Amino acid sequence: MRIPLACLLLLSATVLSQDANPGYIKFINQHINGQMRADRCDHVIRTRQITKTDSNECKETNTFIRATTNLVKPVCGLAGEPYGQLTKSLRPFDIVVCTLKSQGRYPNCQYRGQARTRKIAFRCENGLPVHYDRDIVYFEN
């Protein structure tokens, strides 16, 4: 089966433009880390330069999802369900919640990390996660 070059180029451009979405790229930087550990909050937040929006103040809380983008992205589709204006995962994810210990300025932020298993809720745009909103306690049946 032969795929015309124009179709192949169009498909490639579509995939690349999705992944070039600035909100999605920021979401990945701030919230995706498959190897995250609770004792690595300070280092990862400093390395990724995560701060309050448009400032050099330490972010109060930042949550890392211990998964790949290939597992998180489908929550904006069949692996998620409406949750008010957000989308909620159908299944729980392992996460690390980093909470600021004391007020400070980047890069001198110190966090306390806590590992949890929760469903997650975020805002999706064009089928991609762009804003992490919260984790949701779930109870198995």
Residues recognised as catalytic: 31, 131
Q: How far is CA 107 from the centre of its chain?
A: 21
- Helix (H) / strand (E) element for 27: namely helix 22-31
Smallest CA-to-CA distance from 86 within 119, 122, 118, 120 is with: 122
